Structure 1
């Protein structure tokens, strides 16, 4: 009888240890050459207190791009030079709060775009710019994408590994809740390097101005490819952007459409009067 009780007790202990191990699955990742263990619940993170697999993936990207350090700064300013189809699209300086709630674009032609209090303004009033809202939000979104992964209204799905420049990258699809942004029908497929977790590319569609018919945008997705990373205040920034068509059935990025250069990246600790609306300005609603 004594031996029987010992056998029962041993089986019970082994069973408890197995259940405890399964309930506390974890994923290891490298940060600054140190291995950090982040608990990940089984079944996509249904359990209590642990990150889901997709949340863990997004967290890795945020850490790689030093999101916390970026948001410690009040604002960031950079110069941008964009070419599309061999033609100059935009040259100027962009200043934005790091939380993207205020934006200012000083264009080379002397005109100015401002976004504040959820409104877009163009100065001077006689200036014409049919793509004011597109320029206001597109380029700042591309710069700030690694810091906006968990914005309200974002929906994520982890997808398969996809090739990028001959290297397999982890991809994830981003969609938006209805009513988010100028067009909630946009989607993104982001590529992150499996080794350093930097965001290296993003396929996307632009549905703004489609009046609800997004079929044309769905047929012609584009992609931005981030390269030539430089570190500013310990934060990595891609200083060269390349734009391509994106075809899933042809392996991703295909024909080159344009490029952009990012220079003079600096952080500001105070916004002062940077985002004040000039007297000679008009609101752009569309």
Structure 2
């Protein structure tokens, strides 16, 4: 009997010790490599996205990025005046993910990017600034959807004034080897209420062969105005171009562009095929 009592006492004591150890044991942490990183100090709230990510997400939401990308392609007519002269008059067609682009100019020449090469058609058409035109105007049009592209880096900056209103701003830069001009940068202005992209300062380094000093000395800015909606998605139908400095913001007006007939397409067909009588533009 005594022996049985000793055994029962030992079992009870062991059980109590195990419960005590489990109670004092810290909770297990499950490793999850797919967790979104947060700011070291918790960003804008414990467990929140980094502020730069939040900045991007609010712009994408304002411009209905998910709805935009649900469409296959989009086309629009653009007329660009720079320094009092017409720079471009034509129709731009692009896949909504920007992987293919086509420009049909008023003079009936064409520029086509098939995802690999830029083609000029006819082959004897004026090729001055062709590659610049191919990528610049479609990029300005799609900028609200490009802030989180592969190779992009975004850094929050101080608030800046635009039309006597304080706007949040962030600097967009690119990793080496990204696109045609990885040394370009943009300063993005976000509307304080709607969160839409209202303006962007930028430099143009295309063709500089790595010497960006001239571009850095002469930044420009694009101002987005006169928004309209197509399929409930906002698009600026008026672009204005200005000089820009970090201290003063926008300075002298340099040009403007008018955007009309914005149309979604649900099939690309042969729009981006290599045309006959064309040449590749490097």
Is residue 2:274 matched to residue 1:273? no
- Note if contact 1:44-1:53 (Cα within 8 Å) is conserved in structure 2: no
Partner of 1:234: 232
- The residue correspondences of 1:146-165 to structure 2 (distance < 5 A) are 146-165=144-163
Matched position secondary structure for 2:157: strand
Superposition RMSD in Å: 1.8
Partner of 1:177: 175
Partner of 1:133: 131
Is residue 2:261 matched to residue 1:264? yes
1:55 aligned residue (53, 56, 70): 53
- Once the two structures are superposed, residues 179-220 of structure 1 have per-residue CA deviations (whole angstroms, 9 ceiling, x without a partner) of 001111100000000111010000000000111111000000
| Aligned positions, number | 246
- Once the two structures are superposed, residues 33-76 of structure 1 have per-residue CA deviations (whole angstroms, 9 ceiling, x without a partner) of xxxxxxx7662549996411110111000000000000000000
TM-score (norm 1): 0.83
- Once the two structures are superposed, residues 166-189 of structure 1 have per-residue CA deviations (whole angstroms, 9 ceiling, x without a partner) of 111000001100000111110000
Shift of 1:130: 1.1
Change (3 A) 1:41 1:175: closer
Give the distance between the partners of 2:193 and 2:42, measured in 1 at CA.
22
- Note if contact 1:113-1:136 (Cα within 8 Å) is conserved in structure 2: yes
- Structure 1: where are the runs of 5+ without partners? 1-39
- Note if contact 2:42-2:48 (Cα within 8 Å) is conserved in structure 1: no
Moved more, 91-100 or 124-133: 124-133
- Structure 2: where are the runs of 5+ without partners? 1-37
TM-score (norm 2): 0.84
Structure with greater strand percent:
1
Change (3 A) 1:176 1:68: same
- Note if contact 1:243-1:258 (Cα within 8 Å) is conserved in structure 2: yes
Partner of 1:20: none
Shift of 1:117: 2.9
Partner of 2:117: 119
Partner of 1:166: 164
Is residue 2:196 matched to residue 1:198? yes
Q: Which has the larger radius of gyration?
A: 2
